[in-house]
C-alpha cells in the first residue's frame, strides 16, 4: 500500500499564519463604521477556541513577565507574580474578564468565556473589587485601590491606572467586533453609558475611545497579540491598528491615503534570504514617499528602503540578512503626501528549513506495536490538523493505519485543515502515543477539512489510535441526555460492538443533548490504558445517520404491580406504540393498555405481575420513518413499588382528560365517606396527595392541578378500594 505523505513542497505552496501575515487586513482599506467592523469580524472570527479552564495556560504565556517567564504581570496592579498562584481572594491570581461575563451572561459559554484576548491575570481581591463595573474616569470622585495605585472606583465606575487604560479599551473593542451574534455566539456592543449590566453591552464608549487615543499599544501588548495569535489563530485588530476604533465608533472619516492588498513573495523566505513586499496605495493627493521599514522589535526602523511604484502598486525587497530561524521580523509601510501620513504594519516569523527527507512519517513515529519505537526521542514530522481539543490537537498524514497522532502542550496550534511541521519529544500517556511540548512548530493554512475514515466499532484497535474516523448508524444507550460539565462517558453501539464517547468537563459537547436514534459518530480514536474511546470535536460530530433499524428496547422500570415504563432508543409512531398486541410478557402477565409518553417511552398497564424476573417482548412497533421492531426482548425484575395496583379502575372517572388547571374525580360506586387521592408522575414520584370527604349524593371531587407540567400521570384513589386511572396534562 502506497502512503500519501504531506511533504514540505506541498506545504510551502501555502501561506504562513504564524505571525501577522502580509495581507491579514486586506479588504479593510477605505472602510468606516459598520462596514469596517463587519470586515474585521470576518477576519478574526472562527478562531481556535479554548475552555475557560485551559485559557489560564494561554494567558500565563501571553502575559508572562519579560524578565521572568515563570511569572505573570497582573493586570490592574502591574505586579509580577508566580504564574502558579491561582486561587480565590487575597493576593492569589484570578482570570479577569475585562468585558465582564455578566454583561450578556456568557459564563461557561464558548468561545466567549475562554477567549484569551478578554482574559488577564489579576490580583484576586482587586478583581473582586472591580466586579462588573463599567469603565469611566472617576479619579476625582472615586476611591483609590491601595494595591493598584492610580486605579479608582465608584458604585458604577472603574478607572484603571494609565498603564492599563489603553489595553482595556482595545479589549472592549475586540470583543464588540469579534462577537456579532453569529453561529450561536453573543452580540456584544459598546455603549456610551454606565450601569449597562446585565445587557450584552459595556461602557463607557466615549471614555474608551479617548483612552485608546491617549495610551497607544506598548511592546508588552504587541507581544501579547503575537503570542495569542499562535494559540487562537486570530488577532486583536485594535492593537495592530488603534485607528480602527475611531473609524468604527468615533465618526472619523476614511484616511486620505489608503493602504491595502499587501502581499509577500516568496511567502516563506528563510533566514538570510529576501522577499518582495508589495501593496496598493491610493491617495487623493500626490504622494511624496512610500517607504518600507523593518527590524527585530515592533515599529523598528533599523532597516528601510524607498518602495518603487508601478501605477498604484508599490514594492520593495525586505532582506532577512542577519535574522535567524524562529525570529520574528516586524515591518511597516509608511506613505505620506507631505501633510498626511498612513502606516500599515505586519510581521513574519522565519520558519526552519527542514529538508523533506528529515521528516518522519507519523506511521514511523507510531510504529506498529503497542507503543512508539521512539519513546523519549525528539522527532520531526508533519501532518494535517484533524482536531483541536484544548491542550491537545491531533494530526494525520494519510488514511493508512498508524497515521494519526496526538500533540500535547504546544504553544502553536492550527485550525482543522491546516498543515503543521513540528519537532517534539515522543511520549506515552496511559497507552496513548503523543508528541509533547514541541520545541518547533510552524503552521500553514489549509484549503479543506480532512475527511474521516469510515470504520466499524469492531475494527478499532491500536492502528487507528489518533486518527479521525466516522462510525455509521450507531445508537447511544442514553440518548436524550443533556451533557453536563463533568468528565463523562457515553456508550454507543453500531451492531458490531460497543465503545464509549468521552466528554471532558470542558468539552464543546457540554450543554448539548446527546442524540437519540441513529447517529453517525465522528471523532478521534483515543486510548486510556486498555480502553479505546472516541473524542468528538463538537456536537456537529454527532450527526443524524441513516435509520435502518426498528426501535430497540433500552430500559424497563416497574412503577407498580399495575404499571411498567418501557423505554425505547428513538421516537415512536403513536398508533403502533399504543397497540396492546405489540407487547407480550411471560409468566402469565397480561398487557391491558399502552400509552405513549414523550415520544420514546411507553407506559404499560398490566396485571398478574409477581415477584421475580420477567421478559417483555416487543414486535411490530414502528419508528417515525417506518422501521419495525422484530421480537426485541428485555428482562426486568419486580420487587416492590410505591404506586398501588389497579382495582376496579372502570368505576373511576376523571375529566376532562387531557386536563389542565382543574380536574374532576368521579367515583361511581361511592356515595359518601372518605377518599384519599394521590397523583404520581411516571417515575413513581408522588406529586399531589389529598384527603376528601364525600357528602351523600355528591361523588365529585374537584382538584387544582395547575402545578403539574405537561405530561402523563397516574391518578390513584383509595375509597375502601383502590382505583387507578391514567391522566394526561396538556
The H or E element spanning position 41 is helix 33-44
Question: Look-up: residue for cell 375509597?
Answer: 719
Of the candidate CATH numbers 3.90.1150.10, 3.30.160.60, 1.10.3720.10, 2.60.40.3080, the domain formed by 649-729 belongs to 2.60.40.3080
DSSP conformation letters of 539-573: GGGEEE----S---EEEEEEEETTEEEEEESS-B-
Alpha carbons 278 and 288: distance in angstroms, whole number: 18
Q: Which three cell numbers stand for residue 194?
A: 454606565
For residues 20-35, one letter each, b for 16 or more C-beta atoms within 10 angstroms of the residue's C-beta and e for the rest, the string is bbbbbbbebbebbeee
Question: Look-up: residue for cell 484616511?
Answer: 255
Alpha carbons 8 and 584: distance in angstroms, whole number: 65
Question: Look-up: residue for cell 404506586?
Answer: 643
Alpha carbons 181 and 618: distance in angstroms, whole number: 47
3-state SS, residue 665: strand
Helices (H), 179-300: 205-214, 219-232, 237-240, 244-248
Beta bridge partners of 143: 153
Phi, psi of 23 (to 5 degrees): 85, 10
Alpha carbons 423 and 410: distance in angstroms, whole number: 11
Predicted TM-score (pTM) of the model is: 0.75
Helices (H), 257-379: 362-366
Question: Look-up: residue for cell 441513529?
Answer: 518
Alpha carbons 653 and 655: distance in angstroms, whole number: 7
Phi, psi of 38 (to 5 degrees): -65, -40
Residues 6+ apart with CB under 8 A from 685: none
pLDDT mean by block of 10 residues, the chain; 730 residues: 32 44 92 97 95 95 96 97 94 96 93 97 96 97 96 97 98 98 94 96 98 96 94 96 97 94 93 96 93 93 96 96 92 94 92 87 94 96 95 95 96 92 94 94 80 94 96 90 94 89 94 91 93 95 83 85 84 93 96 86 91 95 90 87 44 79 74 76 79 68 86 81 80
Note the pLDDT of residue 15.
33
Q: Which three cell numbers stand for residue 396?
A: 494525520
Tell which residue, 602, 464, 567, 445, has the closest CA to residue 523: 464
Q: Do domains 257-349 and 453-544 have the same CATH topology?
A: no
Helices (H), 559-639: 574-577
Note the pLDDT of residue 478.
87
CATH-assigned architecture of domain 353-444 = Beta Barrel (2.40)
From first CA to last CA, the distance across the chain in angstroms is 62
CA atoms within 13 A on the CB side of 83: 19
CATH no. for 553-638: 2.60.40.1220
Residues 6+ apart with CB under 8 A from 121: 59, 60, 63, 72, 73, 74, 75, 81, 83, 93, 94, 95, 96
Note the pLDDT of residue 647.
42
Alpha carbons 629 and 95: distance in angstroms, whole number: 53
Virtual torsion, Cα 704, 709, 710, 714, nearest 10 deg: -70
Residues 6+ apart with CB under 8 A from 725: 649, 652, 653, 654, 657, 714, 715
For residue 364, the tally of other CB atoms under 10 A from its CB is 15
CATH no. for 257-349: 2.60.40.2410
Is residue 603 within 8 Å of residue 712, measured between CB atoms? Answer: yes
The H or E element spanning position 715 is strand 711-718
Beta bridge partners of 617: 584, 633
Tell which residue, 651, 653, 647, has the closest CA to residue 607: 647
Q: Which three cell numbers stand for residue 295?
A: 527590524
Q: How many residues belong to the chain?
A: 730
Domain boundaries, the chain: 33-248, 257-349, 353-444, 453-544, 553-638, 649-729
Of the candidate CATH numbers 3.30.420.40, 1.10.486.10, 3.30.300.20, 2.40.50.140, the domain formed by 453-544 belongs to 2.40.50.140
Q: Which three cell numbers stand for residue 325?
A: 530561524
Q: Which three cell numbers stand for residue 515?
A: 442524540
Amino acid at each position: 500500500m502506497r502512503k500519501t505523505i504531506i511533504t514540505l513542497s506541498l506545504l510551502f505552496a501555502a501561506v504562513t499564519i504564524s505571525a501577522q501575515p502580509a495581507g491579514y487586513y486586506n479588504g479593510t482599506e477605505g472602510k468606516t463604521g459598520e462596514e469596517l467592523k463587519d470586515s474585521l469580524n470576518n477576519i478574526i472570527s472562527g478562531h481556535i477556541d479554548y475552555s475557560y479552564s485551559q485559557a489560564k495556560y494561554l494567558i500565563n504565556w501571553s502575559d508572562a513577565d519579560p524578565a521572568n517567564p515563570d511569572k505573570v504581570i497582573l493586570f490592574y496592579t502591574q505586579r509580577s507574580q508566580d504564574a502558579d498562584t491561582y486561587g480565590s481572594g487575597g493576593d492569589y491570581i484570578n482570570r479577569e474578564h475585562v468585558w465582564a461575563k455578566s454583561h450578556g451572561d456568557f459564563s461557561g459559554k464558548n468561545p466567549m468565556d475562554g477567549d484569551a484576548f478578554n482574559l488577564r491575570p489579576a490580583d484576586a481581591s482587586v478583581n473582586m473589587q472591580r466586579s462588573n463595573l463599567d469603565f469611566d474616569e472617576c479619579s476625582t470622585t472615586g476611591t483609590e485601590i491601595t494595591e493598584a495605585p492610580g486605579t479608582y472606583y465608584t458604585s458604577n465606575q472603574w478607572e484603571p491606572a494609565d498603564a492599563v487604560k489603553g489595553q482595556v479599551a482595545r479589549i472592549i473593542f475586540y470583543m464588540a467586533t469579534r462577537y456579532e451574534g453569529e453561529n450561536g455566539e453573543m452580540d456584544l456592543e459598546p455603549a456610551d453609558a454606565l450601569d449597562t449590566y446585565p445587557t450584552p453591552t459595556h461602557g463607557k464608549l466615549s471614555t474608551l475611545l479617548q483612552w485608546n487615543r491617549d495610551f497607544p499599544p506598548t511592546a508588552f501588548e504587541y507581544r501579547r497579540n503575537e503570542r495569542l495569535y499562535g494559540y487562537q489563530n486570530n488577532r486583536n485588530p485594535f492593537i495592530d491598528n488603534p485607528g480602527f476604533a475611531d473609524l468604527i465608533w468615533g465618526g472619523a472619516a476614511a484616511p486620505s491615503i489608503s493602504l491595502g492588498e499587501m502581499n509577500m513573495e516568496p511567502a516563506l523566505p528563510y533566514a538570510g534570504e529576501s522577499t518582495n513586499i508589495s501593496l496598493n496605495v491610493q491617495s487623493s493627493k500626490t504622494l511624496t514617499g512610500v517607504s518600507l521599514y523593518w527590524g527585530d522589535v515592533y515599529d523598528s526602523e533599523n532597516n528601510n528602503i524607498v518602495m518603487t511604484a508601478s501605477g498604484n502598486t508599490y514594492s520593495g525587497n525586505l532582506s532577512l540578512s542577519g535574522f535567524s530561524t524562529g525570529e520574528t521580523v516586524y515591518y511597516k509601510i509608511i506613505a505620506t503626501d507631505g501633510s498626511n501620513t498612513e502606516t500599515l504594519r505586519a510581521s513574519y516569523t522565519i520558519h526552519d528549513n527542514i529538508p523533506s527527507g528529515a521528516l518522519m512519517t507519523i506511521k514511523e513515529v507510531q510504529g506498529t506495536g503497542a507503543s512508539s519505537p521512539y519513546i523519549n526521542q525528539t522527532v520531526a514530522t508533519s501532518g494535517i490538523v484533524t482536531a483541536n481539543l484544548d491542550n491537545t490537537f491531533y494530526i494525520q498524514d494519510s488514511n493508512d493505519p498508524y497515521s494519526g497522532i496526538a500533540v500535547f502542550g504546544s504553544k502553536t496550534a492550527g485550525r482543522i485543515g491546516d498543515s503543521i511541521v513540528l519537532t517534539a519529544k515522543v511520549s506515552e500517556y496511559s497507552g496513548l502515543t503523543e508528541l509533547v511540548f514541541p520545541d518547533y512548530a510552524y503552521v500553514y493554512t489549509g484549503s479543506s477539512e480532512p475527511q474521516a475514515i469510515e470504520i466499524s466499532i469492531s475494527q478499532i484497535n491500536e492502528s487507528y489510535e489518533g486518527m479521525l474516523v466516522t462510525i455509521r448508524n450507531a445508537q447511544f444507550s442514553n440518548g436524550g441526555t443533556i451533557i453536563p460539565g463533568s468528565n463523562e462517558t457515553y456508550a454507543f453501539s453500531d451492531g458490531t460492538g460497543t465503545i464509549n464517547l468521552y466528554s471532558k468537563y470542558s468539552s464543546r459537547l457540554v450543554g448539548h443533548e446527546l442524540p437519540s436514534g441513529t447517529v453517525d459518530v465522528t471523532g478521534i480514536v483515543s486510548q486510556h490504558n486498555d480502553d479505546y474511546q472516541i473524542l468528538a470535536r463538537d456536537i456537529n460530530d454527532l450527526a443524524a445517520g441513516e435509520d435502518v433499524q426498528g426501535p430497540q428496547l433500552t430500559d424497563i422500570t416497574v412503577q407498580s404491580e399495575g404499571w411498567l415504563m418501557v423505554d425505547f432508543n428513538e421516537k415512536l409512531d403513536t398508533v403502533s406504540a399504543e397497540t396492546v398486541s405489540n407487547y407480550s410478557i411471560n409468566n402469565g402477565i397480561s398487557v391491558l393498555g399502552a400509552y405513549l409518553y414523550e415520544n420514546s417511552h411507553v407506559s404499560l398497564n398490566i396485571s398478574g405481575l409477581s415477584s421475580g424476573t420477567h421478559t417483555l417482548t416487543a414486535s411490530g412497533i414502528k419508528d417515525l420513518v417506518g422501521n419495525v421492531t422484530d421480537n426485541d426482548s428485555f428482562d426486568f425484575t419486580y420487587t416492590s413499588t410505591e404506586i398501588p395496583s389497579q382495582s376496579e379502575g372502570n368505576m373511576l372517572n376523571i375529566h376532562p382528560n387531557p386536563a389542565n388547571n382543574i380536574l374532576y374525580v368521579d367515583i361511581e360506586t361511592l356515595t359518601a365517606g372518605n377518599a384519599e387521592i394521590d397523583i404520581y408522575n411516571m417515575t413513581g414520584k408522588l406529586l399531589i396527595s389529598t384527603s376528601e370527604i364525600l357528602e351523600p349524593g355528591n361523588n365529585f371531587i374537584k382538584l387544582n392541578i395547575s402545578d403539574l407540567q405537561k405530561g402523563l400521570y397516574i391518578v390513584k384513589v383509595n375509597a375502601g378500594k383502590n382505583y387507578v386511572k391514567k391522566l394526561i396534562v396538556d
